[in-house]
Structure formats: structure tokens, C-alpha cells
Amino acid sequence: MAREVALPMIRNIGIMAHIDAGKTTTTERILYYTGRVHRPGDVDDGATQMDYMEQERERGITITSAATTCSWRDCRVNIIDTPGHVDFTAEVERSLRVLDGAVAVFCGVGGVEPQSETVWKQADTYGVPRIAFINKMDRLGADFGRAVQSMVDRLAAKPLTLQIPIGVEDGFRGAVDLLEMRARVENPDDLGMTFLDESIPAELRGKAQEARAEMIETLAEADDEIMDLYIGSDEAGEDIPLDLLVAAIRRVTLSGDLVPVLCGSSLKNKGVRRLLDAIVDYLPSPLDRPEVVGLSKDGKTDEARRPDDAEPFAALAFKILADPFAGRLAFLRVYSGVLEAGKTVLNVNTGKRERINRLLRIHAEKREDVKEARTGDIVAAVGFKEIRTGDSLTAFEAPLVLDEMTFAEPVIYMAIEPRTKADQDKLGAALTALADEDPSFHVRRDKDSGQTVIWGMGELHLEILIDRLQREHKVACNVGRTQVAYRETITKPVVYTAEYTRDAAGKTNFARVELTLEPGRSGTGVVFANETSESQIPAEFVPFIEDSAVMACETGVLAGYPLTDISIRLTGGAFQEGESSEMGFRNAAVNALWDGAKDANPVLLEPVMAVEISTPSDFLGDVTGHLSSRRGRVLGMTQRKGDQVIAAEVPLDSMFGYATSLRSLTQGRGAYSMQLARYDKVPEKIAADMTRLNAGG
């Protein structure tokens, strides 16, 4: 079966932004102009295609990444609309892992905002080429130049301005295309489906000429071919043909050297068709991205797969979703080869064969059956018995382990219990289903109390999940107070030896384990290494020691919080032939870990949040004073659209209820956002109180 769309004509892109920058509205207009929908949806009316969950439509925010497919200029554009709220960063992370390009949407008033920085860094991690769209140019306080400069100041990006706006705020009408030097003003009578025949306004001609000259100069500095033409030009590059400029912009976008910048107002149907042209012209096809590289099944050699239908099949499962009609859906990015519905594939991570019953092309909550998925496609598959986010799927004869996806650890938790016996019977399965879908949501059982504890990335994250339990799974629950996910770590190296000896039924069980514990770098978690010889500890026992030592780190030695950022080296030990067992080495490992950690100067760690607060100047003193009372530290202040913007760091424990306090302090005119900055040592007095409470004192 021949390809429907040639590989160079596929674009796999994400739309990413800070909350309220207009990301979903931009996606809705893309669907309208590409003919995917017959009328554009409105976030405020709860009528969008992409925000299809009840909670999304009620709250006007994107919670889960939604996928869709549309066509523009003979290109198939697969789009993933990602959440903008920091609590749902995991959704952005897994989307960027499988995308080839991205559109970063910035507010024309606010410019680069905190979550914009977070997703930009995530895109940097995966080397995703980007274009920028300065949205909401019709809003009061919109400033195109300031928004572009914020990309330089806050993202260290190198913008390439391709347009300048015609009009400002409520007088915004369109843009001057600096490549073609013509006005592009959308026709309001047909929702921007056509352009009005207008020339560049006289008052903008000089500015447009200067902006074009700057654009060509910036491009020449980044692209050798344009530099040669620029140097040889008698007209400062004005005579460089349009097709060569477009080709060069594509090259510098794919390399990440420059970021093309466009402008518009998605809500007012301005600029989105020009954005679609830029997606096709400048963002990569699967052929433009590096070959996907993975490990051979034995984990010893790297192997590369070209993006080619003739290569063996390889795909990554980047999202799991429970569908009430189709069952369990696994969203796949196909990197090479062809996958047919009804065929069987290998899940390399589980080692099991899985039959693909159906393949679906997704449009938000709608599904369309397809017979096959080829290189570059993003589809959903039905039929998996066992699969999780990050699993590699391949042909049997050519297994390949792709890089697994990693997610930030949750920072808050709460106890949860069913209200009735009927709810109790359903709760476990419901929580498992939600955890399968969301890798940043964890479910654990407290060893001491026996309570079920749920962990998440923020208050909104857990609030949404509890709401989903009730709506989708019909489970009524009582929940406890939201609590901070503290951690523990050690601050000095120690070497500790533990010996396990037990006589039972006339037989001795003996094991000796020596662990060297050292402080690890922040964010490294628990790292284990074996440095013993076979004569000290037989290799068959080492996995049991590692497993038990790592599991022991789940409960710290100060207040019972998980131990993290710790290096564990197995540096010695002893066994006795016929008298050593798995149980003995497991017990010795746990004792060595816990007793050693007590001697390693353990400390408590707390999540510290990077907080950005916007407030009218009249309330600045009250807001900063209140931050100090919450153990906050002000890092700096700037002005934005008439307000003061405070950058601060505040312990997460001090941020509960802050929204209510800020509304009270600013008469409802203040706003804030926050994201995890790092884990820091808890002040000694607070740590002593926490330790005493944990000990029952």
C-alpha cells in the first residue's frame, strides 16, 4: 500500500505556551482554516475541539495533551496541543519527546512568562526546532517589540522577525510581510479566510524597510550561503531572491540558530494562515530530524534507525489513555517502518508480543480507523494488554530500546479513602487507570497507617484527578489535607558494614554487606554501583542487595521521607558457602543503608518554588512584606503593562492558600504563577520540629 502523504510533506508539531497565551485558540483557528472544523471553537464558551474533557471546558484550560491531524498546502500537519499550567508539565514533556517541531505562542502583552520558560527549556532538551507566534496583538498594552525582546532576555533566543504589526491594540489589523514586503490584512467578513488588497501604510514603510534590512542581516550572520550573497550584493541583500531567503530561514530554523517570529490575534482571526505557511515552510519533516538511536536488546551497542518505511518497524508509546468506547489507547510515534492493524509487535521493555487490534487517527476525542501507520505518523493503537508510557515497540527480528521518558517527581501528596464499601471495590482499579495515563501521578500505600496516598505536581493537578475519579470512574472519596513532599539526603560520606546472622533449625544464615554512602548531585536521585569481586559477594546476590538498598531509600531516617541524591557503592562484603541466602543479603543491605545514613549527617529537604507575582504598584509593599512572612526571598522586580512583577523564591509549604491571600492584599488585582526551582535544606528549627513530631515527641 502506497503512502498517502510523502514523508517530506509531514509536520509533527506541538503548540506550547504559558497558560492564557492563546494556545488552544490558535489551534482551533488552525483547524478552521485547514477545513478540519466548520466553525472555530471558543475557549470562553467551552466549545473548543481540542479541550474536550469536561474539566477543560469548565475551567477554560488545557489539562491533557490533545492530538489532531489537518492538511495545509498538501502537507499533513499532526498537532499536539499541550497544557500551559505548570501542574501538567509532564504532558508537555512527553509530547516534545516525539515531536519534530513546535510553535511557541507568546502573549503580546506579557511576552515570555514563567511556564513559557519551562517548556522552552524542555524543547531545548530534545533539540526541537521552533517558530514563535506573538499572539493577542489586539489587547490593551500589547507591544510586539517588547515581546520579541523578552525572548532574548528570558530565553536567550535569537529571534528572526519576519513580520511587523499593522496597528496596535484595538487598532491592530494585520502585519507587514518583510519577505515579500506587502501588507497582509485579513478580511473580517469571512473570518480571515481571505486577505484584503491593501498596500503597506505610508507611516510604516520606513520602519518596514529597516526591519527587512535587519532581518536579512541577521539571517546572513547565521547562514553562510546568504552571507556570501549579502557580501556580493550592491543593495545590502535586497536583491537576494525570495526562494533563497525562504530556504535559508528553513536551514537556520532546523539548526536552532534562529527562531522565526510572526504576530497576530488568533481570537480575531488574524495571523493564523500566515502561521500555517510558516509551519510548512520552516518546521522540519521527519526526514529533517536526526536518526533515532536506541540500544540493542542486550543493552551493549547503539543502533540507529533511519526515518524510512523500508527500515524495521520502531515506535515509542508516549501516552496511554483509557477510552470509554475503544478501551485502552496507546499513542505511538512511528520512527521507522510500517505498522499494520491486526499485526503483532514486540514490546521490548516487557519482552512480550502484543497484537494491534486497531489503529486510529485521532482528532481530540474523535477516532478514525486506519489500516496502517508509516514512518513519521502519530496514531493511537488498541489491543495492548501491558504497556506504559515510554515503552519501545519494534519488529521481532530487530528489537531496539529507545530512550525512556523521564518525569519530575511529585511535590505534594494527600491521603485518600473511599466513602463506601462499593467505592472501596472500585478505587484501586480507578487509581491504577489514572496512574497509567499520567506518569507524574503516583499512588502509594503508607506502611504505618495503611492509608492510600496520592502524589501529584500541585494542588490543581490533584484536584483534577479527584474530580476525574468521581466523574469518570464513579468513585466517591474523602481526601486528607494537602501536604508537601519533603525529602531527605545525606551531607557527608560514610562507610558502613552490616552483618546478618541467624540460626534457624540448626542452620546458619550469614551475610555481610559494606556500603559506601556519599552525597550525590542535586536531582540525581539514588545511584547504585557494585565494586565487589566474586570472591567477596557472588554476582547472584548483588541484584538483591541493590534492590533492597534502593527500596530502603523510600523511607528516610529523620522523618520517614524518601532519601534522595545519594550515591550507594557496594564496596565490600562476605558470604559463607551454603550458609548465605537472598534473605540474608537483603536484610544486611537494608541495615547498612539505614544505619549508615544515620551516621552521614542526614538533613531534610523541601521543595522551593520560583514564584512570579504581578501586582499594581499601590500594593507592592504589602505583597513583598507578606512574602517575607512566608519565608520568601525576593530576587528582583520589573515592570510589565503597568504592573510590578516580583520574582521570588518561596518554600512550597508556605504557598498553600496564597491565591486567597494575594486576592485580599491586592483587591483581586494580583496574579501569580509558580514552578519548582529546586530542593533546599529545611531550616534547622523547622526540621527539628518535624523530626520530633515524626518521633511522636
Q: What is the pLDDT of residues 368-403, one digit of tens each?
A: 899 999 999 999 999 998 898 889 999 999 999 998
Alpha carbons 674 and 378: distance in angstroms, whole number: 32
For helices 272-282 and 23-33, angle between their N-to-C axes, nearest 10 degrees: 80
Mean pLDDT of the chain: 88
User: Which residues on adjacent β-strands are paired with residue 568?
Assistant: 517, 528
- Please state the φ and ψ torsions of residue 451, each to the nearest 5 degrees: -75, 150
What integer is the mean pLDDT of 562-572?
A: 96
Show the cell assigned to 222: 547565521
What integer is the mean pLDDT of 495-520?
A: 89
Alpha carbons 561 and 487: distance in angstroms, whole number: 5
pLDDT surpasses 50 at 455: yes
- Is the separation of the CB atoms in 606 and 484 below 8 Å? yes
pLDDT for 10-30, tens place per residue? 999 998 888 788 888 898 899
Q: Which fold has domain 292-402?
A: Elongation Factor Tu (Ef-tu); domain 3 (2.40.30)
pLDDT for 338-377, tens place per residue? 999 999 999 998 999 999 999 998 875 678 899 999 999 9
Alpha carbons 154 and 156: distance in angstroms, whole number: 6
Show the cell assigned to 606: 523541601
pLDDT for 150-191, tens place per residue? 999 989 999 999 999 999 999 999 999 999 999 999 999 999
Alpha carbons 54 and 51: distance in angstroms, whole number: 8
Predicted pLDDT of residue 62? 41
pLDDT for 583-621, tens place per residue? 999 999 999 999 999 999 999 999 999 998 989 999 999
What integer is the mean pLDDT of 561-581?
A: 93
Burial 408-422, CB ≥16 within 10 A → b, else e: ebbbbbbbbebeeee
- Is the separation of the CB atoms in 605 and 489 below 8 Å? yes
In a 10 Å sphere around its CB, with 0-12 CB exposed, 13-18 middle and 19+ buried, how is residue 578 labelled?
exposed
DSSP code string of 546-614: HHHHHHHTTS-SSSSPPB-SEEEEEEEEE--TTT--HHHHHHHHHHHHHHHHHHS--EEEEEEEEEEEE
- Is the separation of the CB atoms in 18 and 110 below 8 Å? yes
Q: What is the DSSP letter of 265?
A: B
- Is the separation of the CB atoms in 227 and 203 below 8 Å? no
Furthest-apart CA pair in the chain: how many Å? Answer: 102
CATH architecture of 412-476: 2-Layer Sandwich (3.30)
User: Which of 47-51, 510-514, 535-539 has the lowest average pLDDT?
Assistant: 47-51
Alpha carbons 46 and 629: distance in angstroms, whole number: 39
Nearest to 181 by CA among 108, 239, 232, 259: 239
Nearest to 95 by CA among 65, 126, 50, 56: 65
Alpha carbons 342 and 372: distance in angstroms, whole number: 9
At residue 85 the predicted structure's pLDDT band, cuts being 50, 70 and 90, is low
pLDDT surpasses 80 at 521: yes
Q: Which fold has domain 489-600?
A: Ribosomal Protein S5; domain 2 (3.30.230)
Residues with Cβ within 8 Å of residue 328, at least 6 apart in sequence? 320, 321, 322, 382, 384, 387, 436
At residue 541 the predicted structure's pLDDT band, cuts being 50, 70 and 90, is very high
User: Which residues on adjacent β-strands are paired with residue 517?
Assistant: 494, 568
For the chain, percent of residues with pLDDT exceeding 90: 58
- Is the separation of the CB atoms in 106 and 23 below 8 Å? no
- Label the pairing between strands 292-295 and 182-186: unpaired
Residues with Cβ within 8 Å of residue 437, at least 6 apart in sequence? 64, 319, 320, 321, 322
Place of cell 517548556: 119
Predicted pLDDT of residue 44? 46
Predicted pLDDT of residue 696? 57
Predicted pLDDT of residue 691? 80
pLDDT surpasses 80 at 636: yes
Nearest to 429 by CA among 328, 352, 359: 328
- Is the separation of the CB atoms in 542 and 530 below 8 Å? yes
pLDDT surpasses 60 at 111: yes
What are the sequence ranges of the domains in the chain? 7-282, 292-402, 412-476, 489-600, 607-694
Place of cell 472500585: 426
Q: How many CA atoms lie within 13 A of 85 on its CB side?
A: 16
Residues with Cβ within 8 Å of residue 359, at least 6 apart in sequence? 339, 340, 341, 369, 370, 371, 372, 373, 379, 380, 381, 382
Q: What is the DSSP letter of 111?
A: B
Show the cell assigned to 675: 514552578
- Is the separation of the CB atoms in 109 and 141 below 8 Å? yes
At residue 405 the predicted structure's pLDDT band, cuts being 50, 70 and 90, is confident
At residue 86 the predicted structure's pLDDT band, cuts being 50, 70 and 90, is low
Sign of CA dihedral 418, 419, 421, 422: negative
Rounded to an integer, what is the distance from CA 1 to the centroid of its chain?
A: 35
Predicted pLDDT of residue 365? 62
pLDDT for 430-447, tens place per residue? 998 888 888 888 998 877
At residue 88 the predicted structure's pLDDT band, cuts being 50, 70 and 90, is low
Higher local confidence (pLDDT), 123 or 88: 123
At the fourth CATH level, the homologous superfamily of domain 7-282 is: P-loop containing nucleotide triphosphate hydrolases (3.40.50.300)
Nearest to 52 by CA among 39, 65, 40: 65
pLDDT for 197-248, tens place per residue? 899 999 999 999 999 999 999 999 999 999 999 998 878 788 999 999 999 9
Q: Which fold has domain 607-694?
A: Alpha-Beta Plaits (3.30.70)
- Is the separation of the CB atoms in 552 and 590 below 8 Å? yes
- Please state the φ and ψ torsions of residue 476, each to the nearest 5 degrees: -90, 135
pLDDT for 253-272, tens place per residue? 999 999 999 999 999 999 99
pLDDT surpasses 50 at 57: no
Predicted pLDDT of residue 506? 63
Amino acid at 533: S
- Is the separation of the CB atoms in 596 and 517 below 8 Å? yes
Predicted pLDDT of residue 633? 94
Predicted pLDDT of residue 502? 87
User: Which residues on adjacent β-strands are paired with residue 336?
Assistant: 314
Amino acid at 695: A
Higher local confidence (pLDDT), 220 or 695: 220
In order of 32, 104, 648, the CA distances from 120 in angstroms are 27, 8, 20
Angle at Cα 473 formed by Cα 469 and Cα 479, nearest 5°?
25
Nearest to 682 by CA among 633, 629, 635, 631: 631
Hey, is 57 helix, strand or coil?
helix
Hey, is 30 helix, strand or coil?
helix
Predicted pLDDT of residue 299? 66
What integer is the mean pLDDT of 417-439?
A: 87
pLDDT surpasses 50 at 47: no
In a 10 Å sphere around its CB, with 0-12 CB exposed, 13-18 middle and 19+ buried, how is residue 366 labelled?
exposed
Common-topology check for domains 412-476 and 607-694: yes
